[in-house]
Amino acid sequence: MISTKMAEALNDQINAEMQSSYLYLSMATWFDAQGWEGMTKWMVGQAKEEDSHAHKIVRYISEQQSRVLLKAIEQPKTEWSSPLEAFQDALKHEQYITSRINNLFKLAKEDEDFATEGFLTWYIKEQVEEEATAAKIVLDLERIGSSMQGMYMLDHSLGARQ
């Protein structure tokens, strides 16, 4: 069983993960309106992945005989000046989520909650991947600059996401 404080913190993380999903879905709709099919597909995949992260926490809280309490999700940003700005926002958001996961891990250590430490280890590794992926796309977009050919190639590449 997890502490009340840990249950509250994990419930807050469910909200953050759902907010992430909503943000990426908003980005997907923006990319779709701009005609970037590959970036749209990539962001839809990202939204689904974040949704699955939230569901994984829901299951964990339930398995720990605690109560899941869902909270409202805020309206996400809906406009970006460029694909670069959207992916920069995605990177900043992933860094924010990483800090939240790290704080959860610290709380688990303080509580001597070894089960939750083990559970959160997956999220720590996942965030390394999430940040690295977003950072690489930002770097690619910075290198591409205003090259429409480069943008089309990157869009095609991102659309290949499984």
Residue of 130, 131, 154, 109 whose CA lies nearest to 52: 130
Q: What is the mean pLDDT of the chain?
A: 97
Flag whether pLDDT at 17 surpasses 80.
Answer: yes
Radius of gyration of the chain (CA): 17
pTM (predicted TM-score): 0.94
Mean pLDDT value of segment 17-46: 98
Flag whether pLDDT at 162 surpasses 80.
Answer: no
Domains of the chain with CATH codes: 4-70+80-159 (1.20.1260.10)
* pLDDT value for 1: 86
* pLDDT value for 161: 78
95 — pLDDT class (breaks 50, 70, 90)? very high
Q: What is the pLDDT of residues 99-156, one digit of tens each?
A: 999 999 999 999 999 999 999 999 999 999 999 999 999 999 999 999 999 999 999 9
Give yes or no for a contact between 107 and 5, defined as CB atoms under 8 angstroms apart. Answer: yes
